[in-house]
Amino acid sequence: MTAEGSLPAVSLILGGARSGKSRFAEQLICSMPPPLFYVATAEPRDLEMAERIERHKMRRGPDWQTLEVPLDLNETLKRLDKAGAVILVDCLTLWLANLMAAGCDIGKSLGSLCGTLSEVQGHIVLVSNEVGQGIIPDNELARQFSDFAGHMHQDIAAVAQLVVMVIAGLPLTLKSSKEK
């Protein structure tokens, strides 16, 4: 799956917190030729998140070019995407939370992202937290987030050629197709 040309145009890697999804996504593309673009959506708003971000950076190594993109994901992907480009986005649920906090039009943002993904020239691997497998949240904002995340995953999975769920560090392929 990691040889040049065998990585699909769009891959979606899902999993819970600390499931191993980011590490799996990195391993999926680490043998691709550089440059490797890492589009990070997290913002270090507290010490724990800053440490988490630093651990991710240290694990990646020098072949990765990191771009911090809390909101403008679609425009960044359009700018980076070209034949042979390898882009990892980590993670969509943090991007979604950033959009919600900024008061953005979620439907428009997700629609634009799916439009961009349907025209990918290179390779884009998207990492996201599966948040909808627990209890229904007890507050409106958390329910909205869960609903948006579920719709986002369904829409992106429909466009992606590869969809993998990572549980306890083990990948479970949900969809695998070479076709766009």
Read off the tokens for 17.
Answer: 């917190």
Read off the tokens for 77.
Answer: 């992907």
Query: CA nearest 12: which of 124, 106, 119?
Result: 124
Q: Which of 56, 123, 151, 153 is catalytic?
A: 56
DSSP state of 9: S
Tell me the DSSP string of 111-145: HHHHHHHTT-SSEEEEEEE--TTSPPPSSHHHHHH
Q: How far apart are CA 167 and CA 18, in angstroms?
A: 9
Tell me the DSSP string of 142-177: HHHHHHHHHHHHHHHHHH-SEEEEEETTEEEEEEE-
Based on the residue annotation, tell me whether 153 is a catalytic residue of this protein: no
Point out the residues that are catalytic. Answer: 56
